Amino acid sequence: MALTGLEIYKQLPKTNCKECGFPTCLAFAMKMATKQVSLDKCPHVTDAGKAALESAARPPIQLVTIGTETKEIKIGNETQLFRHEEKFHREGAVAIRISDTLDDDALAARAEAAGHLKFERVGREIKVNLVAVCNESGDPARFAAAARLAAEKSGLACVLISEKAANLGKAADALAGQRPLLYISDPAEAEAAAKVAKDNSCPLAVRADGLEALAELTPKVSPIVQELVLDPGTRDLKSTLEALTAIRRLSLKNFRPLGYPIMAFTTAEDPIQQVVELSTFLAKYGGVVVTDAIEKWQLLPALTTRQDIFIDPQKPVAVEPKLNAIGEVGENAPVLVTTNFSLSYYSVESEVESSRVPAYVLAVDTEGTSVLTAWASDKFNAETITQALKKSGVEEKIGHRKLVIPGFVAVLSAGVEDESGWSVLIGPKEASGIPNFLKNQWQAS
């Protein structure tokens, strides 16, 4: 957990030298507690004090890196139980399960499908992160070949799942330099698997039946490999959710044996229930979630849930405030205005695209707030809209002076006309009405 100002102050030299830029050591400690300044600004802190602060301030959950370069996924280093207390830092990774008992054609097709599970939402790409190759055949050679094929066809980093440490070693050799996550399903093989992970510079996932067994197992393998992922062994929604929550609570209390990211598996046979389990585990502390769900209709809601949970609640999702051309615009193209709140902007943009009427969309800087919120807080008004118009240079691109504003803020029309000199048209209240408006009501002259 984060240190308080007084806990930090106890480790400072208490000289009040002011060299850090603050009048007292206590003032510096308070700023450091709120992460507004770093310890290196204090020139007189002792080595012992620095070591104590760094140790105490170390995130209670180990950072784990899976994959390399563009495929790299980082999980862990979380510091909060509830998102609103600060934010969640690293999204849980979604892994599509692939059995090595599939023939090469079926395995390649499933891996390719997993690699194409990506979507764009509010200007950001959301996607599946991993493929989880399961050694259900028990054959180390087949396991290695399946891992190599899945990695190649998916373009994603891998999770390698086996009950035999030796089989993990064979598959890890096949993916040398790619840093897959090795998952050993047999607790009795955990120490042997840890040596395999160390030899191949890979993170390791270990399973035990229950939290007590996990807490007893991790001290045996952590001296060998530090980057661990924990599976509490539960396989139904209720018990897995309880285990994920209990592990997060204990780790945030600096219970080091459980201070690692968590792994979960969806097991429901019903496709819709798979989505429910996947979304739940991503929302409630799953660092890696392995699933059989592979249809786009299944992954989109789960990935959307993940995106929403991991957005910083203290920072609205905003787009760059500027003029955007949609389609092949000409001098008679309509100009629509909205705020730079990401969801508002992309709702407008998508509806303009679907109308097939080329248009300009002007995103006004409202600090990432929606149309009604920005209007209520006086961030979306005649002055800010006019300033955005002039700054955008749109007057040089078109031959008319007509501006379409959202229907919910029709009250702004007279003020905008007075400030800008443009004619104002009242557009639809909802973005869904834009295609009909542009096709049937818009006229440049």
Q: Which sequence spans correspond to the domains of the chain?
A: 5-57, 64-310, 323-440
% of the chain exceeding 70 in pLDDT: 98
Note the pLDDT of residue 36. 78
Segment 79-104 shows an average pLDDT of 94
In the predicted model, is pLDDT for residue 316 greater than 90?
no
Q: Same fold for the domain at 64-310 and the one at 323-440? A: no
Would you put residue 277 in left (φ > 0), alpha (ψ -120 to 50) or beta?
alpha
- What pLDDT score was predicted for residue 50? 83
For domain 64-310, which CATH number applies: 3.40.50.2300, 3.40.50.720, 3.20.20.20, 3.30.450.40?
3.20.20.20
Could you give the count of Cα atoms lying within 13 Å of 148 in the half-sphere of its Cβ? 11
Residue type for position 56? A
pLDDT in tens, 206-265: 999 999 999 999 999 999 999 999 999 999 999 999 999 999 999 998 899 999 999 999
Alpha-carbon span 425 to 407, nearest angstrom: 9
- Give me the residue label for tokens 């997060």: 248
Mean pLDDT of 393-407: 94
Question: Whole-angstrom Cα distance, residue 289 to residue 159?
Answer: 11
With a threshold of 0.85, does the pTM exceed it? no
Domain 5-57: which topology?
Answer: 3-methyladenine DNA Glycosylase II; Chain A, domain 3 (1.10.15)
When pLDDT is averaged across residues 347-373 and rounded to a whole number, the result is: 95
- Mean pLDDT of the region 405-414: 96
Q: What is the pLDDT confidence band of residue 136, given thresholds at 50, 70 and 90? A: very high
CATH topology of domain 323-440: Rossmann fold (3.40.50)
User: In the predicted model, is pLDDT for residue 445 greater than 70?
Assistant: no
Rounded Cα–Cα distance for residues 431 and 426 (Å) = 13
Report how far residue 362's alpha carbon sits from residue 378's, in angstroms, rounded to the nearest whole number. 18
Q: What is the pLDDT of residues 30-82, one digit of tens each?
A: 888 877 788 888 999 988 888 777 766 667 899 999 999 999 999 999 989 99
What average pLDDT does the structure give for the chain?
Answer: 94
How high is the pLDDT of residue 55?
Answer: 61
